[in-house]
Amino acid sequence: MSERATPAGEPKAGTSRRTFLKVLGAASATTAVAACSSNTGEELIPYLVHPDETVPGVSNYYASTCRECAAGCGLLLEVRDGRTFKVEGNPDHPLNRGALCSRGQASVQGLYNPDRYRQPMLRKNGRLTPISWTQATTLLTQQLAGIQGAGKAGGAVFINQHETGSFPGFLDAWLEGYGMPPHLSYAALSDGAVIAANKQSYGVAWPSLDFTAAKIVVSFGADFLETWGASVPQQLSFADARAKGVDAPRVIYVGPRRSLTGMNADQWIPCKPGSELAIANALGGTGTMAQAAQSADVPAATLEALASALAGAPSLLLAGGSMELALAVNALNQKFGNVGRSVLTTQPIESFEGMTTDAELTDAIERMRAGQVPLLFVRGVNPVFTSPRSAKVADAISKVPFKVSFSSYPDETSELCDLVLPDHHAIESWGDAQPIPGVISLQQPGMDPVYDTRATADVLLALAKTNPKLAAAHPAGNYREYLISRYPGGTTAFTAALIKGIGNGTVAGQRPHRAAVPATARAAANIAGTSGDFYLVVYPSPLLEDGSGANKPWLQEIPDPVTKVCWQTVIEVGTSAAARLAIDPGDVLRVETPAGAITAPAFVYPGLRGDTIAVAFGRGHTAYGRYAQNVGVSPGDVLPVAFDAKSGAMAWTSTKVKVTKTGDFVPLVSAEGSARQHGRGVAQAIDAGDLARTEPAEVPVSPMHGNEQTEEHMPGDASHEFLPGLRAPVAQDAQGDLPSDDNLKGMYDPKHWSGMAKRRWAMTIDLARCTGCSACVTACYAENNVPTVGARHQSSATAGLEGQPGANILRGREMAWIRLERFYEGGETLDESFETRFVPMLCQHCGNAPCEPVCPVYATYHSPDGLNVQVYNRCVGTRYCSNNCPYKVRYFNWFGYGEPARPQYAWPERMNWQLNPDVTVRGKGVMEKCSMCVQRIRESEHRAKLEGRALVADEFTTSCAQACPSNAITFGDAADPAWSVTKLIADRRGYHVFEELNTFTAVVYLKKINHPAPSAPAGR
Amino acid sequence: MSTMAPDRIELRRDNTATADVQLPAVKSYTQATDEILDTLRVTKAWFAGLGVAVLCLLIGGTAWAYQIYMGLGVAGYRPPVMWGVYIITFVFWIGIGHAGTLISAILYLFRAGFRTTIYRCAEAMTVFAVMTAGLFPILHLGRPWKFFWLIPYPHWRLIWPQFKSPLVWDVFAVLTYLTVSATFLFIGLIPDIAVLRDRETNPVRKQIFGVLSFGWRNSDREWRHFARAYLFLAAFSTPLVLSVHSVVSFDFAMANLPGWHTTIFPPYFVAGAIFSGMGMVFTIIIPVRRWFKLKHYVTINVLDAGAKLCLFTSLVVGCAYLTEFFIAWYSGSEVEQSYFWNRVFGQWWWAAWIMLTCNAILPLLLFSQRLRRNTTFLFTLSIFINLGMWYERFVIIVPSMSHEFEPWKWGPYAPTYIDWAILLGSFGWFSMWFLLFIKQLPVLAIAEVKEIVPPRMRHAHAEPDPEGHSIAPGLIGSYEVR
């Protein structure tokens, strides 16, 4: 202001206008130029001249092999613009035939996990600090030379995850070169006892199972639909068997806890823990039924009925638990003539061959504790977490002078190590597997590495090359060359096999199979010798397995198939015990053994004996990244170190525990509203006997509307006109079926230029096949960019529950477009048995949708081809549609799950690479729901159009249907008789949920088929 | 009644409120004008009250800003309960508004005299209640900044709202109601603003009042037009009393949820609205008549008459509650029956019993004349009615959604501090406007009060003039015309 007062003509102090403009111009220009370049140099489209077969915006599929468990299922990696964003089952793979379990599908979240090591790490001053690969390999070379020089190489230990294929042999050869002993091939919580028994009985680790050849299936604690053996092929066969309807096998589950497999059984025999052997022996004739019944605490009549049922029909008996039990059950299979019929020992699953026992690992751990191990390598396993805490594995490992981890994740074990050489994720690596004899399943990278990691095999090769003595033994430049050099038929055959992902042949020079019997004898687990009020059953979580799934938010968020609890460890208590001790769901219990104690909320479960509690293994990590750390507790904290005497496998059900109520209450993070149907008919079932009757099914009577039926015929009224019920006036209209051509009501014009109006996309879900495994849920999360909402950091604005894992789920805000409902039928009283029914519930795409007329802004409307469409951009978020949806399948974005700046962001950096580019990431404040994978529908329609043809029946399907390991979901065009779905809709078991509401749903459920015991009265 | 002068027209019964409400303590027009305008004097207590109201509003506003930034997840919504405190409060405030229109319009048409001294207050309450209510549908949106998509406006993409949606009807109903009731309030104010103008000394304010009173000159012609316009607007508002809340009830009745999908809702909601509005009228008018020393205007007879209206609507509402249960039983629908059982004896028993106690049981005490004429009781009861009517909407909205067709998705609901802050903010918003109103414009209609004050005669035949003869032969007296 003072300048104003200066007399004219005098030069002004400060900047002149001219100078100012000059500076301004220059500054703007430099800013603008600087803004044009960024440090990272991102590219809008990755290729200027693109490689063959790579078209921006079009997916490529690479066949590979799953490494999430030992089974080795075939994968198809969907790759777009250089990023793998979805993992699907390989339809050509003989093991999984296109299906894939949740764990396999979630592997992509391991790939992009935000907590992966981004480069090698070295412990400096007690902390892991990043170093370069050159430094890391130099350091390791020195260490190797050091122990070799000291003559201690023979004491080194390499623990590798159990896998088949070339790598184990390659690894042993490498170790031998340095004078180190062969590696330990370890899988935690594996069925070591059963494998040992199978080796003894059949000479193979795992026979394949044909459920379709059996009329009665008895499982002695073998959870063949979850983690017992190769779950996907077993589930495929099981579902095929159950779909046979009247001829399907009756399934009986024997065990103290009714697992997911047990829920799929028609009968549950709740025997005392450890008494399965007595029952199997009694069935085999080496004990009396009365004795068995007494030791198992079940009525003798039940066991006698079981014996007589087994006597009359082809059967299949399965065992999980001790080797003795497995041997007894194998003998029963032999006795009943099942070997070669339902137990196919000639077509074994090779994946479990050569597995190290828990005892061998413990021996190695004890050597470490004794200071005899100079160097430890750990790859793909996490023994610190997966061993009972009382085994003090962490202490033992700390005694090793130099510990090398190849883990890609900061898990409990790698956090103890001195050097971390992060391995590629399986999706970034080359490899192979031999899941079944004569079949090589190839593993190829789906993309460039996400971080600065290196394949362990390549690291080992590089190390060997630096040693002149060893270089000659390792001529391959990298592991891929190594694989090719050993592949039967060489490069040509290898390249050809890569296209399908499988080749014929046997991996040459696989590591010789080990003897199953451990070196040192073990004291047998003696459950009766422990003291406490309850038996403790510890089982691997169906989703998280040995805990390796815990860093994948999908697997944390998808409710456990049995308890329906997520982001939380619960202590399962039987209904009778809960009544006895006045335990309500959520009451915090303290479980104590001499080994330790855990506290967790109670889950009251009717499928558990009154003298038993059960805790799933998998949560309770103290490290392992943001999704796993300090979420839940681990039953490993209370377990004693106990072994199955014969096989050397860890005995997980080995102790009694003391259970006390702490008086606290923690609400259960559960997706379950009411576990009973209250007569609503959501999950319907039919007895096989009724299905066998020849007269046509009666018109289903609505459970809500009584028995009255009017003579008056309402066109398309599903409650009067039995199936397909898709002929709602609007659907008829859409199909041009209304009597008059001029009668074009609404907006469904059959002559619409889009030509789509003749279709009616529809789905059938066969509840006889569905096992409730929830793989469809994972598939939907993966395909449709459904955010997970339960992580601790996502809870920060959830008022009242800040910072609590699963807080948003406690508020019912899970986003799963498809959910697995688990209803109990019967069992209202303590003595009565109960039946479980699973229903995958998703948007029913009603022909007459209640959500549509209430939306004030037309954000949801009906597409001409029968879809109920949600327009995210138009949605203002009144949520009226959700209120009016009887199926409650609409999900609201309560927070900005897609906004990187928000704490609720569901895809922290690199996790967002998994997002499906075909599907919008929904914004805050809008409604979303199942779209029946509309992106797949349109993609197929466009492809057909480009190729100048009509859509071929069954040429594509939805993500859930594709993943389903039970083939329970069928999707297609119900207006075209060529599609499979049209035939299935006409099935006599078909029904619509809440059809009395005249919603004319596009999803037709086929009733579950129950197989009651022949003597039992039909129906419940 | 002790102040009643013996020379006044005798009431048939001393303690009976009749349509012809008498203001015996108001002796003259001057007294009425002075006393009513005296209420406009700003006091410290008023400033304090305004401060509290603004503070509440700020708390609510901050909560809303946080909610817009973070997303609706900060509120207590727990699917399937997709509507919560905000929609409850929306219906609550809309309902409050109805009593005002009922009193000012319907009772005007029915010539119910007791309305005269409370209608201005009730009408202002209506406008501010609707202004408050109108915020909530926006406030509860997932994307409130897109609220205008619910309004039909020409757009190059030819996108219109879904006219089948009751929410679009709501937009029309609420906006119409706001427009008409604000107009009605304003028209009624014209003669009183003219009084303010005449008495105003501040030239600026005088100018403003002059404009607002449309240059009112107290002419016969103006009075005739005023009366016509007032009658017309009263007639225009009357159907709105019934229609607006019927439309609001369609938000629920048009949906298919158990407990919502019922034809009883429109009359039930209208009765409930009037009931709740009477409750709020009492909550406001009883302190106002005490603090503003207007007890001789808003007489106990007026309150008695209002209490009877309150009792009547309470009986209607109680009958509706019983009818709902009957229909649930009669329908034979398991879903409906299960829901109503759950409403009263299940997880929401406490809310249902708050509702039943406050709305159907406690108001039965109004059968006692003594209690109807006890202002402390009326005020206490009015608080219970406000609470009960808020809970009525809670009981309609929350339990229905939490316990409907799909048992797997049954669940609880609990509001968070954000919900409560916004609810508090709404009271702050309402109170702020109301407090501003009562110090700017007369809370009693001066002109209408004068209509029922018997005019004092300037000259009466009994008093001969000093010269000993009448002013004019045959003239009994002349009215004071001030």
Chain centre distance of CA A972: 25
Same domain, A885 and A793: yes
Euclidean distance between CA atoms A631 and A620, whole angstroms = 5
Query: Same domain, yes or no, for A274 and A238?
Result: yes
Final residue belonging to a domain, choices A283, A318, A348: A348
CB contact under 8 A, B142 and A705: no
CB atoms closer than 10 angstroms to residue B311 = 18
To the nearest whole number, what is the mean pLDDT of chain A?
86
DSSP string, A195-239: HHHHHHHHSSS-EEE-GGG-SEEEEES--TTTTSS-HHHHHHHHH
- Tell me the mean pLDDT in the region A407-427: 95
Distance CA A950, CA A883 (A): 39
**Res A509: pLDDT:** 62
Backbone angles phi, psi at B295, to 5 degrees: -65, -30
Has residue A484 been placed in a domain? no
Say which range, A537-551, A683-697, A936-950, B228-242, has the weakest mean pLDDT. Answer: A683-697
Kindly give, in sequence order, each residue whose CB lies less than 8 Å from that of residue A910, ignoring residues fewer than 6 positions away. A112, A113, A114, A116, A450, A451
**Chain A nearest CA to B93, separation (Å):** 19
Cis omega (within 30 of 0) for bond into A468: no
Return the residue of A nearest to B261 by Cα: A884
Report d(CA A748, CA A862) in Å as an integer. 9
Residues 6+ apart with CB under 8 A from A457: A167, A170, A171, A429, A430, A431, A478, A479, A482
Percent of chain A with pLDDT over 70: 87
Q: Which of B197, B200, B271 is nearest to B241 (CA)?
A: B271
Q: What is the CATH number of the domain that holds A611?
A: 2.40.40.20
Provide the 10 A C-beta neighbour count for residue B29: 18
**Measured distance CA(A986)–CA(A186) in Å, rounded:** 49
Asked whether residue A582 is assigned to any structural domain, the reply reads: yes
Contact criterion met (CB below 8 Å) for B162 and A853: yes
Question: Distances in Å between the alpha carbon of A931 and those of A746, A818, A887, A999?
Answer: 22, 11, 15, 17
B334, B405, B408 ranked by CB distance to A672: nearest: B408
- Residue B408: list chain A partners with CB under 8 A: 672-674, 682, 819, 821, 823, 841, 888
Of A891, A926, A997, the CB nearest to B256: A997
Q: How confident is the model at residue B117 (pLDDT cuts 50, 70, 90)?
A: confident
Q: Do B162 and A875 touch (CB under 8 A)?
A: no
Q: What is the mean pLDDT of residues B216-235?
A: 92
Nearest in space to A183 (alpha carbons), one of A358, A367, A352, A377: A377
- Number of neighbouring beta carbons within 10 Å of residue A339: 17
Which tokens belong to A1014?
A: 């022949």
Q: Is residue A60 included in any domain, yes or no? A: no
HEC string of B394-422 equals HHHHHHHHHCCCCHHHCCCCCCCHHHHHH
- Beta pairing partners, A250: A216
Mutate to test the interface with A, among B66, B77, B82, B138 (most CBs of A within 10 A): B82
> Mean pLDDT: which of A247-251, A356-360, B35-39 is highest?
A247-251
Q: Is A924 found in the same domain as A788?
A: yes
**Which numeric CATH code is attached to B29-479?**
1.20.1630.10
Confirm or reject contact between B461 and chain A (CB < 8 A): no
- The answer to whether the CB atoms of A682 and B72 lie below 8 A apart is no
Pairs of CB atoms within 8 A across A/B:
188
Task: Using CB atoms, pick whichever of B73, B143, B418 lies closest to residue A813.
Answer: B73
**B323: distance to nearest CA of chain A, Å?**
21
Same domain, A589 and A731: no
Chain B: nearest CA to A748, how far in angstroms? 16
Distance separating alpha carbons of residues A1003 and A996, to the nearest angstrom:
15
Residues of B in contact with A823 (CB under 8 A): 407-408
Q: Cβ distance A761 to A971 under 8 Å? A: yes
Shared domain check, A706 and A618 = no
A565: DSSP letter: B
A499 domain residue, yes or no: no
Q: Are A812 and B411 within 8 A, CB to CB?
A: yes
Single-letter code of the amino acid located at A291: Q
Residues 395-454 on B with a CB inside 8 Å of A are 401, 404-411, 414, 416-418
Residues A654, A691, single domain; the answer is no
From residue A720, how far is each of A146, A700, A717 by CA, in Å?
Answer: 83, 9, 6
Which residues does chain A have within 8 Å of residue B416's beta carbon, measured at their own beta carbons? 799-800
| A431 token code pair | 């490899």
pLDDT at A11: 46
| B215 at A interface, C-beta within 8 A | no
Do residues A460 and A510 touch, judged by C-beta distance below 8 A?
Answer: no
More confident residue, A42 or A629: A629
Among B83, B161, B165, beta carbon nearest to A879: B83
Give the distance from CA A581 to its chain's centroid.
35
Query: B70 and A895: CB-CB below 8 Å?
Result: yes
Nearest-Cα distance to chain B for A858, in Å, is 6
For chain A, what is the domain count? Answer: 3
Q: Could you tell me the pTM of the whole model? A: 0.88
Question: What's the average model confidence in pLDDT over A818-842?
Answer: 90
Is the pLDDT at A781 greater than 60? The verdict is: yes
- Span A404-413, average pLDDT: 95
Which string of DSSP letters, residue by residue, matches A419-465? EE-PPPPGGG--EEEEEETTEEEEE--SSS-SSS---HHHHHHHHHH
The answer, for B156 touching chain A at a CB cutoff of 8 Å, is no
Does B147 contact A at CB distance below 8 Å?
yes
Residues A520-530, mean pLDDT to the nearest whole number: 68
Report residue A4's pLDDT band, with 50, 70 and 90 as the boundaries: very low
Considering the domain architecture, whether residues A658 and A699 belong to the same structural domain is answered as no
Per-residue confidence (pLDDT) for residue A24, from 0 to 100: 67
| Per-residue pLDDT at B368 | 93
A805 shares a domain with A900: yes
Residue with tokens 């596009």, as numbered in its chain:
A1002
Q: At residue B154, what is the residue type? A: P
Predicted pLDDT of residue A43: 54
Question: Is A189 a member of any domain?
Answer: no
Q: Is the pLDDT of residue A351 over 50?
A: yes
Q: What percent of chain B has pLDDT over 70?
A: 90
What pLDDT was estimated at residue A723? Answer: 36
Query: Does the beta-carbon distance from B73 to A680 stay under 8 Å?
Result: no
- Which residues, other chains included, contact A138 with Cβ-Cβ below 8 Å and sequence gap of 6+? none
Q: Structure tokens of B155?
A: 């757009």
User: Domain holding A243: CATH number?
Assistant: 3.40.228.10
Q: Is the pLDDT of residue A514 over 70?
A: no
B382 Rama class: left (phi>0) / alpha (psi -120 to 50) / beta: alpha
B256, B408, B417, best to mutate vs chain A, most A CBs in 10 Å: B408
Name the residue with higher pLDDT: A155 or A27.
A155
Answer whether residue A30 shows pLDDT above 80: no
pLDDT band at A14 (very low <50, low <70, confident <90, very high): low
Residues of B in contact with A677 (CB under 8 A): 407
Same domain assignment for residues A541 and A635: yes
Q: Which two tokens stand for residue B343?
A: 């409403």
Contact B167 A854 (CB under 8 A): yes
Closest CA to B456 of B432, B481, B429: B481
Chain B's closest residue to A815, CA to CA, is B79
Q: Which residue of B has its CA nearest to A875?
A: B143
Residue A553 lies in a domain: yes
Contacts of A923 in chain B (CB under 8 A): 143
A697 and A744 assigned to the same domain: yes
pLDDT at B12: 42
pLDDT of residue A1001: 85
Residues of B in contact with A813 (CB under 8 A): 73, 77-79
- B334 and A704 Cβ atoms separated by less than 8 Å: yes
Which member of A673, A706, A854 has the closest CB to residue B407? A673
Please name the residue of chain A whose CA is at the shortest distance from the CA of residue B73.
A894
Q: Which domain holds residue A325?
A: 207-348
- How close does chain A come to B86, measured CA to CA in Å? 11
Residues of A in contact with B347 (CB under 8 A): none
Binary contact (A904, B332; C-beta < 8 A): no
- Mean residue pLDDT of chain B comes to 87
B175 touches chain A (CB under 8 A): no
Q: Are residues A865 and A977 in the same domain?
A: yes
* Residue A504 belongs to some domain of the structure: no
Strand, coil or helix: A807:
helix
Q: For A353-395, how does the pLDDT look when each residue is reduced to its tens digit (9 = 90+)?
A: 888 888 889 999 999 999 999 999 999 999 999 999 999 999 9
Task: Identify the residue among B158, B398, B405 best suited for mutation to test binding to A, counting A beta carbons within 10 A and taking the highest.
Answer: B405
B458: phi then psi, degrees, rounded to nearest 5: -70, -45
Domain extent listing, chain B: 29-479
The ipTM estimated for the assembled molecules is 0.89
On the CB side of B464, CA atoms within 13 Å amount to 4
Rounded to an integer, what distance in angstroms lies between the CA atom of residue A721 and that of residue A716?
Answer: 7
- Higher-pLDDT residue of B287, A55: B287
Q: State the pLDDT at residue A527.
A: 75
The per-residue pLDDT for range B77-115, each reduced to its tens digit, is 999 999 999 999 999 999 998 888 898 888 888 888 888
pLDDT of residue A977: 83
Shared domain check, A692 and A802 = yes
Note the pLDDT of residue B467. Answer: 55
Residue with tokens 């190797």: A144
